[in-house]
Amino acid sequence: MDSYETRQRYWGRSLIGWPVMRNAAPNPSHHHISDLELLNHSSLVVTQNVDRLHQKAGTRAVTDLHGRADEVICMSCDYRCPRDEVHDRCADLNPGFQHYKAETAPDGDADLEVDFSDFRPAGCPKCDGILKPDVVFFGDYVPRTGCIRRWMCSRPAMACW
Ligand SMILES: [Zn+2]
């Protein structure tokens, strides 16, 4: 995300991919895992998924090991907001990108190959810093937030990846 060109491409493709991910519904497995929590057969779900489908299914105790795609953070300050706000700002800044259609991926990306050089990514409204989804990208480290310790100390727990 340090590269402006990378951000143009990421947020440009996200204009198409994010609504699909945002509107995804939990499948029967997510609901089954939620039922296990209700029956006290699971006290914590640890997941690498960033889609929040466990929470949508009703599971309350979830550690999102790789973050959550529905929130955006600033890489320079403590700004955080719902991804929909950044999505709407990017849409407003780039009306020419609204008409594109492409295959979407489960991670909010879209298979869109166009010229992104005119795309204007939204910046942090607080400090004009770089915004990114609150997820662990490939090559990033999982933040040390105590989630692993909670996971190891909690029984029964369920890991979903
Ligand atoms: Zn900021």
Mean pLDDT, the chain, integer = 89
Is the pLDDT higher at 105 or at 29? 29
The sign of the dihedral angle between the CA atoms of 97, 86, 3, 102 is negative
Highest mean pLDDT among 15-24, 76-85, 95-104: 76-85
What is the C-alpha separation between 31 and 45, in angstroms, rounded? 12
What is the C-alpha separation between 45 and 158, in angstroms, rounded? 5
Ligand 1 centroid distance, CA of 76 (Å)? 5
Average pLDDT over residues 27-31: 97
Ligand 1 centroid distance, CA of 37 (Å)? 37
Task: Give me the percent of the chain exceeding a pLDDT of 90.
Answer: 70
pLDDT computed for residue 50 by the predictor: 93
Ligand 1 centroid distance, CA of 81 (Å)? 11
Ligand 1 centroid distance, CA of 14 (Å)? 20
What is the pLDDT confidence band of residue 8, given thresholds at 50, 70 and 90? very high
**Segments in the chain forming alpha helices (H):** 4-22, 28-38, 53-56, 83-93, 147-153
pLDDT computed for residue 108 by the predictor: 82
The pLDDT tens digits for 89-120 are 999 999 999 888 888 887 888 888 999 999 99
pLDDT computed for residue 144 by the predictor: 66
Which residues form the catalytic set? 66
pLDDT computed for residue 152 by the predictor: 59
Residue of 66, 77, 49, 71 lying closest to 145 (CA atoms): 66
Ligand 1 centroid distance, CA of 129 (Å)? 5
The pLDDT tens digits for 129-158 are 999 999 988 777 777 665 566 555 655 566
